């Protein structure tokens, strides 16, 4: 075994200067820690010893082989549970396992064809609206971050609740953004302040929490009253029975917590992934042209379905490379050791904290040569085999891997295929250098302006 503690920065005032650096520029500081100290870093944050692991083998230890020795940090759980309740992200132990069993059928492959149809219906509405504006103005400039958030909100409302939130997406999207900002701020705060304080931030938090809670509870209440099975995720949750565990179905409160978890996480990461996908397509027209050629060849202008996805491998490679460079979740949630455990050859004591940062690991030249270059070919079949396990983990891994990972990948591929089928994309003329904003999902600070225009040659069926 190596030394008792790995190297890391020292701080004479209980980690306060380290905490300030993380708040000021989290991504740059995590990258600097790796370059300065290596694959395992240790520092003090208040009363805690805080580890950051950067090697794929350490990621596997934390998320897979020694996962039972850790749980989510109580601070992180307390923050997220304010709106997720005891949902799949925050729950632990036997209750988490029961909820995972109840929810798994909703994400089985046989359900995905129906979800794909709901997704493409929503994308078609957006594409038709954009085409009308382009017909009038020649081009359409959009904040793609806002546009993808609105689109994924519409998609998750259809697939989760069988509902149309089109008239309320702006307000709901604003509420989600408020909670995302709140979560990051409160996770980093040394002291938790009460929510009744009459500050602007607390008023926004109360408004956002109330709006989303009332929205989700309203859907559950109406669905219980009707007893209708619409084939959406909500119906699956309300009708689910834990036959294996013999513990019955979900209460309304449990359904509320899982719906809120899926509603928030189910659109936020997809919206971020799509934002970075279109950003990179706008910057790399040759990549966009190759994706369009694949879509034209396979679809011939028709709307894609779930069964078409295996025939669109380059589209998948583009999405995977986008979320490699800009992973929506920059790392897994902070973990706390439940017992003494060794990670990367270093002993962690009970109560020590550890984190793995996918943003840095995804950009490590050992696993991804020339890592800042956008190269979808990294995920071609022959090259993907060269990527070490857990050098790429945009959806986490192990028992707690994101339950909606396949859902999100399907959604991002369908949206990219359908919009590039009809439009060309480029950076807006006045779009400056993009600044990264790490919230609950990695976003462009201040939005991201892209210009969409009608393709010179569009398959006739795509315009029909």
H or E element that contains 365: none
Distances (CA, A) of 12 to 28, 156, 191, 351, 358: 22, 47, 19, 21, 29
Contact 66, 343 (CB under 8 A): yes
- Residue 311 DSSP class: G
Q: What does the CA dihedral 33, 39, 44, 45 come to, rounded to 10 degrees?
A: 70
**Is 410:266 a contact under the CB 8 Å cutoff?**
no
pLDDT averaged over every residue in the chain: 89
Q: Output the pLDDT for position 458.
A: 62
Domain ranges of the chain: 16-463
Integer Cα distance of 205 and 153 in angstroms: 19
- Is pLDDT at 249 greater than 90 in this prediction? no
Residue 13: how many other CB atoms lie within 10 Å: 9
* Structural contact between residues 294 and 314, judged by C-beta atoms closer than 8 angstroms: yes
Q: What secondary structure does DSSP assign to 288-310, as a single string?
A: HHHHHHHHHHHHTTSPP-GGGGG
The secondary structure of residue 150, as a DSSP letter, is: H
Tokens 């013999």 correspond to what residue?
A: 246
Closest CA to 259 of 212, 200, 315: 212
Alpha carbons 111 and 107: distance in angstroms, whole number:
7
d(C-alpha 173, C-alpha 78), whole Å? 23
- Res. 83: pLDDT tops 50: yes
What CATH number is given for 16-463 in this structure? Answer: 1.10.630.10
pLDDT in tens, 452-462: 999 976 665 55
Strand order in the sheet with 139-143: 139-143, 449-454, 423-427
Between 451 and 92, where is the model more confident? 451
Q: Give the tokens for residue 58.
A: 């350490």
Q: What is the pLDDT of residues 326-377, one digit of tens each?
A: 999 999 999 999 999 999 999 999 999 999 999 999 999 999 999 999 999 9
Highest mean pLDDT among 221-235, 316-330, 396-410: 316-330
Longest dimension (CA), the chain: 69
Full-prediction pTM beyond 0.85? yes
Contact residues for 126 (Cβ-Cβ < 8 A; gap 6+): 147, 151, 419
Strand-pair category, 48-53 with 353-356: parallel
What pLDDT score does 1 carry?
42
Alpha-carbon distance values, 131 to 164, 172, 256 (Å): 21, 25, 38
Closest CA to 339 of 51, 62, 69: 69
């Amino acid at each position: 075994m190596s030394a008792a503690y790995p190297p890391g920065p020292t701080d004479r005032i209980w980690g306060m200067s380290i905490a300030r650096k993380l708040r000021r520029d989290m991504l740059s500081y995590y990258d600097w820690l790796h370059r300065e100290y290596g694959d395992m870093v240790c520092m003090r944050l208040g009363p805690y010893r805080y580890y950051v692991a950067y090697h794929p083998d350490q990621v596997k230890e934390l998320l897979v082989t020694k996962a039972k020795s850790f749980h989510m940090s109580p601070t992180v759980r307390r923050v997220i549970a304010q709106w997720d309740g005891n949902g799949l992200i925050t729950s632990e132990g036997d209750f988490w396992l029961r909820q995972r069993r109840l929810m798994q059928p909703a994400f089985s492959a046989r359900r995905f064809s129906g979800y794909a149809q709901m997704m493409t219906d929503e994308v078609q509405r957006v594409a038709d609206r954009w085409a009308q504006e382009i017909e009038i103005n020649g081009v359409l400039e959009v904040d793609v971050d806002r546009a993808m958030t609105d689109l994924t909100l519409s998609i998750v409302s259809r697939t989760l609740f069988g509902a149309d939130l089109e008239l309320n997406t702006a307000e709901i999207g604003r509420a989600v953004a408020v909670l995302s900002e709140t979560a990051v701020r409160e996770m980093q705060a040394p002291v938790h302040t009460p929510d009744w304080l009459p500050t602007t931030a607390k008023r926004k938090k109360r408004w956002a929490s109330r709006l989303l809670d009332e929205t989700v509870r309203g859907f559950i209440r109406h669905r219980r009253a009707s007893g209708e099975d619409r084939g959406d995720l909500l119906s699956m949750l309300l009708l689910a029975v834990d036959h294996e565990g013999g513990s019955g179905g979900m209460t309304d409160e449990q359904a509320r917590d899982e719906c809120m978890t899926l509603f928030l996480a189910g659109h936020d990461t997809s919206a971020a992934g799509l934002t970075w996908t279109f950003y990179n397509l706008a910057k790399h027209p040759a990549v966009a042209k190759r994706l369009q050629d694949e879509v034209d060849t396979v679809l011939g202008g028709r709307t894609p379905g779930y069964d078409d996805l295996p025939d669109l491998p380059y589209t998948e490679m583009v999405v995977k490379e986008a979320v490699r460079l800009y992973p929506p979740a920059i790392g897994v949630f902070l973990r706390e050791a439940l017992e003494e455990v060794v990670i990367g050859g270093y002993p962690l004591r009970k109560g020590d904290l550890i984190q793995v940062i996918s943003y840095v690991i995804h950009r490590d030249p050992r696993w991804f040569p020339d890592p800042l270059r956008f190269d979808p070919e990294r995920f071609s079949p022959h090259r993907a085999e060269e990527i070490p396990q857990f050098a790429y983990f945009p959806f986490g891994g192990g028992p707690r891997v994101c339950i909606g990972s396949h859902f999100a990948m399907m959604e991002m591929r369908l949206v990219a295929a359908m919009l590039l089928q009809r439009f060309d994309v480029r950076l807006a003329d006045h779009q400056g250098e993009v600044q990264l904003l790490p919230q609950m999902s990695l976003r462009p600070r201040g939005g991201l302006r892209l210009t969409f225009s009608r393709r010179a040659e569009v398959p006739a069926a795509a315009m029909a």
